[in-house]
Chains A and B, each alone.
Chain A
């Protein structure tokens, strides 16, 4: 069996003796005998590192790694620079706890302070927290942040990611608060319907930009409608897209949330990802989660600390703004590292190429007989096509090592391309689709 217990048998004996015990059983004397397990656990025997490695490698081998990924829907296969994979594995970053002891955690605290700053630079917002669990929980936390006694209803666009809608629904269920879904029209949030729904009890609207169907919403007009009704405007963004698209600040968002996976994290079957959450100075003290602040030590040296803790559960208990404590610190560090490595030009280039590849794919697919774009609006990296023989198309792509778009509805497919795919790969995919359709 494997073990990470350093004590030898004789050391353990000495230690037992030192505490006045003869046998290890005595350590569990407080546990009522009827509850103590008398049989070993019904799990396999432990193994050596070499054996475990081969077991785990065999499990990984049962997954199929696609060379080309044309599927997004909340998980985006962008290029991850080498250094972004290396640095977070430094053992100090990996094995430290939440930086409660500032005097021996300045490195983690500074990395979070830098992350918060970069999120502000990217989004135009005034203040970012140290992260929450993922994009969906960020939206749910934002809904809670916007609610008060008079305004308790949350609106969310039907064009938001289904997992985001369901997560927000769950958090609202927890809080006994109401969630209403704003319908879409032609793949976008229906502004007229929204205006009708903006009643005086509405606390906020959550809009996703680009939305689940890839469409770019008229965020500014929607934000204005929300503000006209004195509600808060929560915008859920793809952070990489903000290198080239209008920032949440520019379109008037009060709270920006987003899934940070596209900033240097692998798609990894859904996690760990990164929940980004930022707001304006006005709402800073309502923001949940850890926030790192700059201060000075007793000798006047610059220092970083976990700040504004009066919002948090360990101080406020049942009156806290959220129960969150552990967040996604190492993912936030990774995102900061990614943004520093890419730099402003690299970020813009990745976003521009992402949009270029997606538009190329759409143009090429729509040249094929029977393939049509479902929506006419502008898009960033994803689009929906209506196509015949959908299952056969996706199966043929899969056979060729290409993960095609996500099947939606009856004969629709949600496609995605990022800067990572080459023209050659896109052409190959389109040729396969063409061949299947011609059969």
Chain B
């Protein structure tokens, strides 16, 4: 389809503002270059964005088992509540007496999330998961600094971790120590012990881990880290598996981030805005970030004002809806759905770990690829032709030819049965017509894009012909 700039007609516009009712003021310094934004009427704009949205697959369109992203249904009541003028039209620096509602929203959300995570304090400043990681590791850094312990220069990250974990540790000035996982994808205790020492600042871990398995040794792991003088950071990417069943705080973690845009059903918006609420134990509360302008200097701060407030409004609406019964029910069914789908796929594609999983599981297609020549990428692209968003591909790195599926609790048995059927069909097809799958998708918006050309010869904006 055409770009919006190619639809521009000189002189076309919408009538939005009245004539200015005060004297004009001519600023001495002026923009010299012309402003080449598109010129359109409102109907042009409306049609353009409608066309664009018809070229997007959302959770509302169909199954979206993107592992580690928790693509659950996003309730529309949450959207409507976040659009209330009493939330949208509030200035962040309005007097405290006029924003009691906003404060109450944060207080309630903090209280519920502390209870769910087993933490004592919470900040909503971080705008995304990676931003939450950054905040959490800065809590650890401040803790060691406050004790005058400057020798702790390393953060331990398992090799199965998401790339944001090592990137975060590096942003916080730490050297990253990657520890190998045990054959079952869990932390190798011997490798951990070998990595721990007086230079250990902390450990970043998710549990269940990135292959969807709950690490049974978790209390031993956090104890070992604490014994070495380090702190334990819980990456909440996989919290949807365990809410209301077991709490990171009870596993021995000192701080945590939670993705409100995953676990607490706020929409991903095509890549944000999210919210990476960070919780911590009592002894770290003093290090939580605050806005210099709202609360005064003296604290770290990871963005302007109090955070992605409207995302918190959505999450609170969701928390209130589910409540103490619905929260564990959501997790139970996320785990049930994952195990059911894995069971239905078994016999064709091979799970990387053939055992009860938590909310997600990883398929290992390396043998299958040897037999058929069809790769995880080929299968993923073939799923698109079947109206399904592909699972996460080639992650975690410890499984070769990995496809990681997370169905979430909001998918029905029929959807899972149909998805399993699609996987069976593609499995059979690989043995019959691998070539067809190498070129999938065949019925999508586009065929496979040339990413190498995009990177080698970057065209990152439109320019007038």
Contacts and interface: CB of A to CB of B under 8 A. Distances in A.
A116 B459 CA distance: 11
B388 to A, nearest CB: 9
A137 B332 contact: no
B151 interface: no
Contact of B389 (A65, A101, A126): A101
A216 B27 CA distance: 10
A98 interface: yes
Contacts, number: 690
Interface string A414-439: 00000100111010000000000000
Interface in A325-360: 325-331, 333, 336-337, 339-350, 352-353, 355-360
Task: Report which residue of B111, B328, B340, B460 has the largest number of chain A beta carbons within 10 angstroms of its beta carbon.
Answer: B460
B133 A62 contact: no
B66 A97 contact: yes
A60 B101 contact: yes
Contact of B164 (A173, A250, A313, A358): A313
A335 to B, nearest CB: 12
A323 B171 contact: yes
Interface string A77-100: 101010101011111111111111
Nearest to B208: A30
A330 B81 CA distance: 18
Contacts of B56: 92-93, 96, 104-108
Interface residues of B, number: 199
Nearest to A295: B454
A333 B86 contact: no
B348 interface: no
Interface string B273-284: 110000000000
B180 interface: no
Nearest to A14: B413
Task: Report which residue of A46, A284, A340 has the largest number of chain B beta carbons within 10 angstroms of its beta carbon.
Answer: A340
A266 B323 contact: no
A174 B138 contact: yes
A310 B458 CA distance: 13
A137 B276 CA distance: 15
Contact of A95 (B74, B250, B326, B451): B74
Interface stretch (A194-202, A223-231, A240-248, A365-373): A240-248
A357 B301 CA distance: 33
B398 interface: no
Interface stretch (B188-196, B263-271, B362-370, B425-433): B263-271
Contact of B321 (A32, A49, A171): A49
Given A163-B293, A246-B31, A94 B269 contact: yes
A83 B42 contact: yes
21 contacts: A7-B412, A41-B115, A41-B327, A43-B116, A49-B321, A60-B85, A60-B86, A62-B100, A66-B91, A100-B66, A107-B55, A108-B271, A110-B1, A167-B301, A170-B300, A171-B302, A297-B449, A297-B450, A330-B273, A337-B45, A355-B27
Interface string A37-73: 1001111111101001101110111111110010101
Interface of B is mostly: loop
Given A2-B322, A341-B14, 6 more contacts: A35-B218, A37-B245, A93-B52, A96-B268, A167-B304, A341-B16
A224 to B, nearest CB: 15
A331 B273 contact: yes
B413 to A, nearest CB: 5
B109 to A, nearest CB: 11
A42 B131 contact: no
Contacts of B336: 7, 12, 15-16, 19, 24, 27
A406 interface: yes
A117 B5 contact: yes
Contact of B163 (A77, A81, A290, A317): A317
A270 B233 CA distance: 27
Given A71-B91, A348-B35, A170 B302 contact: yes
Nearest to B359: A27
A103 B445 contact: yes
Nearest to A15: B340
Contact of B25 (A5, A32, A359): A359
A298 B450 contact: yes
Given A30-B214, A73-B93, A320-B167, A108 B333 contact: no
